[in-house]
Amino acid sequence: MLQRLMQKISLRKISKVHDIDGWLSNNEALGLYSVAGKLNENAVVVEIGSWQGKSTYCIARGLKSGQVFAIDPFNAAGGGDTESEEQYKEKKGSKDLLKSFIHNMESRNVMDKIVVKKGYSYEFPHDFEKIDFLFIDGDHSIEGCKSDFELFSPRIVPGGYIAFHDFYEKRDELGSTWVIKNLVLPSPHYKFYRLFDSLWVAQKIS
Ligand SMILES: C[S@@+](CC[C@H](N)C(=O)[O-])C[C@H]1O[C@@H](n2cnc3c(N)ncnc32)[C@H](O)[C@@H]1O
């Protein structure tokens, strides 16, 4: 009961999330918002896979201060995940994804907390000396997700967070599930934090 009430109150803080196109459930949107809210001032958040900014908005709203670096080629790429790519292309239609992203962020007054990095994730890991929160939701193939984890996670500071979208216990063919089970959980550097529907979150401990 109390939990429901708290959820309702928090959802009001990200009330402008509902009409941004994307894949997040309410609970996942709140998960991103609440993890961002745990970060210190001047936090560096790296988001891989932004689409039209649904998750970016939730993270930006949660931050005390700092920036969300939104990495996406904004061309409906699926990387090694051809099934998703078909879906992205169909959903995108003739829309300019980067324009929609910027419009969505500006009209919700969060653009001042966002830096757009247009391109593929593997082009950018060296741009970050430290990361407080890494959110992986880009290429959902095992190879793509593994590469994102391997390139970016060494930059997460102890005490920082990592989150993956689309964790499904029985779907080992999905990049997120595979990486979590085979790389994150066996690692002594991470401890499980929370699961918000399919948003799986861990904290880096060392
Ligand atoms: C499922 S969507 C992301 C949804 C978004 N996080 C949201 O909440 O609405 C996946 C996105 O990842 C992007 N993408 C695919 N491969 C990528 C890569 N290697 N680097 C960065 N983005 C990638 C696609 O262009 C697409 O916009």
Q: Separation of 1 CA from ligand 1 center, angstroms?
A: 35
Atom of ligand 1 nearest to the CA of 21: 9
Of 136, 129, 206, nearest in space to 178 by CA? 136
Backbone angles phi, psi at 14, to 5 degrees: -120, 40
Q: Is 121 in the pocket of ligand 1 (CB under 6 A)?
A: yes
Q: How far is the CA of 154 from the centre of ligand 1 (A)?
A: 21
Ligand 1 within 6 A of CB of 24: yes
Does 141 sit in the ligand 1 pocket, CB within 6 Å? no
Nearest to 28 by CA among 17, 40, 38, 19: 17
- CA of 52, closest atom in ligand 1: 9
Atom of ligand 1 nearest to the CA of 75: 25
Check if 174 has its Cβ closer than 6 Å to any atom of ligand 1.
no
Query: What is d(CA 177, CA 182) in angstroms, rounded to the nearest whole number?
Result: 8
Distance CA 166, CA 171 (A): 9
Of the candidates 137, 21, 134, the one whose C-alpha atom is nearest the C-alpha of residue 79 is 137
Where would I find the H helices in 38-160? 54-62, 82-92, 97-107, 142-152
Instruction: Return the ligand 1 atom nearest residue 24 CA.
Output: 8
Extract the tokens encoding 123: 């082009």
Q: Domains of the chain by range and CATH?
A: 33-204 (3.40.50.150)
Most informative mutation of 51, 148, 166 for ligand 1 (most atoms within 8 A of CB): 51
pLDDT (tens, 9 = 90+) of the chain, 206 residues, equals: 778 888 888 889 999 999 999 999 999 999 999 999 999 999 999 999 999 999 999 999 999 999 999 999 999 988 899 999 999 999 999 999 999 999 999 999 999 999 999 999 999 999 999 999 999 999 999 999 999 999 999 999 999 999 999 999 999 999 999 999 999 999 999 999 999 999 999 999 99
Between the CA of 70 and the centroid of ligand 1 the distance, in Å, is 10
The tens digit of pLDDT for each residue in 85-133 reads 999 999 999 999 999 999 999 999 999 999 999 999 999 999 999 999 9
For the Cβ of 176 lying below 6 angstroms from any atom of ligand 1, the answer is no
Cβ–ligand 1 contact at 17 (below 6 Å) = no
